[in-house]
Chains A and B, each alone.
Chain A
Amino acid sequence: MSNVALQNVTKRFKHVVAMRDVSFDIKDGEFFVLLGPTGAGKTTTLRVIAGLEQQDEGSVIFDGEAVDALSPADRDVAFVFQQYSLYPNMSVYDNLAFPLRSPMRQLPEPEIKRRIEDAAEKLRISHLLTRKTARLSGGEMQRVSIGRAIVREPRIFLMDEPLSNLDAKLRESLRVELEHLQRTQGSTTLFVTHDQIEALTLADRIAVMREGRVVQIGTPEDIYDRPATLFVAQLVGTPHINLLNAMHENGTLQVANADLHLPAPTTGETVPDKLVLGIRPEDVHPDPEGAFAGQLALLEPLGSETILHIKIGGPTLLSVVPGLLSARVGDTVRFNVAPESLHYFTREGRRISAVTEVAVPVQ
């Protein structure tokens, strides 16, 4: 396994700039996730690392050496695609053996056997080795295609939305398998997804991409707790973060069209007059003694938690509480918001960092 880095990579297609000055460093054994909406440049980034696309500027570095001149085959990367391209008439064993028997590698059969048995055990598909792949379930096929990448023992795994064609329950269980595999094996992996839950649950670190640029790089906790921009704040979290326009006056923030006063950020920089306040739904705490009040507009009981839509004048605040809640639409709801859980952004969408954030280093 290897350390993989991009240095100031730009990639242009005829009509679009797919990657703009992209730099990041994937550490040896790290599970690194590229997260962003369609068209953000995630898949292009993956293809540039694989050598399937040639960048216009910048460099791709494996273990300290530029690989820009190397062909895809010589870069020794393994792809796991969204669509599993397995040979339906071959057994699982032969599918796994295929890349190892190719003219390029031609490993001895005992070595092939060792690698396959090893991978099959990790992926819990040992009992399927003699079966034809056409007769496997969707989840089993996906494990076999991950297995085909594992047996190659590549320098890095490249995974392009490998879970997105599966139904919800299967996706959950494969996510757990991938996470377990990663925590126990520590393979260097670049994983591309538009699904924020996949990113938060799987990643050691996440790079959020938008319109060809990297917007923020950090651990899942960094991204969730300290989003660098409004875009990142909105991208992660279900339900969405509440965003409210607010005016800054004498150390307090007045939320537009609502009777909601909250403390202004304690920060080293000048606080602008107009800013955007972000409150995660789990930080809006219903409380009969709460300092604020609104009207319950909607209740969404999801089972493990309940989403409350609380109308506070013009805007509606979402609050999420564990379990089921007995309240009626139209009721007055009192609530509290912990000042330390507030997020502040400029109108342009840049995070205003609190003093305490600077003082406490990111773990």
Chain B
Amino acid sequence: MATIEFRDVEKRFGAFQAVKPMNLTIQDGEFVVLLGPSGCGKTTTLRMISGLESVSTGTILLDGRDVTWAHPSARDIAFVFQFFALYPHMTVRENIAFPLQAQGESKELIQQRVGEVSRLLQIEPLLGIRPGSLSGGDRQRVALARALVRRPAAFLMDEPLGALDAEFRAVMRAEIKQLHLDQHATTVYVTHDQIEAMAMGDRIVVMSNSEIQQVGTPAEVYYNPSNLFVARFIGSPGMNLLKGQYADGVVNLPGGGQYRVPAEWEGAVRQALGGSGEVVMGFRPEAARLSADGSIGAELYADELHGAYTMLYLSLDGQPEGVYVRTDRKVKYPIGTPIRFDLDPAMVRFFRTDTEKAIQREVVTA
């Protein structure tokens, strides 16, 4: 078990800053997801923890021990890659046993450990066969077993489900999480898939442009994104964003609509904007409620049945992008129908247009 700590860790490739100075502490037993689009620095960050990539400046601590310059093999960390590299000429049993044999462990211990992990991952029936004939999901289970069998202090996983089809991904996602709940090994997991990050992470580190945008629980990054990037990136679809002019407690929308800022936000918004000015309102698709006398007017542009619910896409005058509204499947209107809606005041957020950062308010606790 291990804590992992980054102190001002930076990575440069020549003039390119792949990871800007970063501070982050991953607690013992925590499942932390590094999430971001390709090129954001998440894989480089992971590789620095493993020692596969050197650090340009700063310090990495493993359980308080400075491992910045320690050899990868001296870090007691197991790496699970997207492409499961199994030895084709060995049986599943031999593949799983390999790391222990390399460490010179006794036959009895190897047999016991291989037995344990294969029971855990339910791959006992596969032990005698070669990986060539296994399905993608089973191969990934064997690769996981091989990582687990060493009982490392921490797991690093780099898009381990990226190569699987959507159906298997959902199954394996739950299995890996389940495994973590059983074992509680510190895990750092890299993905570009926000659904995976939300489903699996105790905490999510959202990265973009070589730096951390936000660190928080799934609920925090979903409901309280720190800036417009996180608001758009988390959620499928992302947060709805409407641009308007704030003055005297009201956001005036370009099409003539007016939204009264909830009382608990008014002070913070006024202060952030220095009295009045341009502001972005954000809300999730499920925060909107259709109502004939709703304060915001729009027009139906498209509607999408998602099985259990329907997602409406509404266009608004003067807004470059429309908004998604999640509704009951029974809601059906012709395209072009004028639609009015209101927002759940507890789910409205505000962003500055200059810095793109969320406007924060003091939370009064009773």
Contact = CB atoms under 8 A, between A and B. Distances in A.
Interface of A: 168-169, 172, 175-177, 179-180, 183-184, 197, 200-202, 220-221, 224, 236-240, 280-282, 297-298, 300-304, 307, 309, 320, 322-324, 329
Nearest to A198: B304
B11 to A, nearest CB: 25
Contacts of B177: 298, 300
Given A176-B301, A298-B181, A322 B286 contact: yes
A221 B304 contact: no
Contacts of A180: 301-302, 313, 335
B174 A200 contact: no
B306 A302 contact: no
Contact of A304 (B178, B232, B284, B335): B284
Given A176-B301, A176-B313, A324-B219, A303 B237 contact: no
Given A300-B199, A304-B284, A329-B181, A175 B236 contact: no
Interface residues of B, number: 37
B243 interface: no
Interface of B: 167, 170, 173-174, 177-178, 181, 195, 198-200, 218-219, 222, 232, 234-238, 284-286, 301-308, 311, 313, 322, 326, 335-336
Nearest to B239: A303
Contacts, number: 90
A303 B218 contact: yes
B333 to A, nearest CB: 11
Contacts of A184: 335-336
B304 A201 contact: yes
A320 B308 contact: yes
A201 B234 contact: no
16 contacts: A168-B236, A176-B301, A179-B302, A200-B306, A201-B311, A221-B305, A224-B307, A237-B307, A238-B307, A280-B308, A301-B218, A301-B219, A303-B234, A307-B199, A309-B174, A324-B219
Contacts of A220: 305
B305 A200 contact: yes
A177 B335 CA distance: 12
Given A172-B237, A201-B304, A301-B198, A238 B286 contact: no
A239 B133 CA distance: 28
A238 B178 contact: no
A181 to B, nearest CB: 9
Nearest to A178: B302
Given A175-B304, A180-B301, A183-B335, 16 more contacts: A169-B238, A176-B304, A200-B305, A201-B305, A240-B167, A282-B307, A298-B177, A298-B178, A298-B181, A301-B198, A301-B218, A301-B222, A302-B195, A303-B222, A304-B284, A323-B286
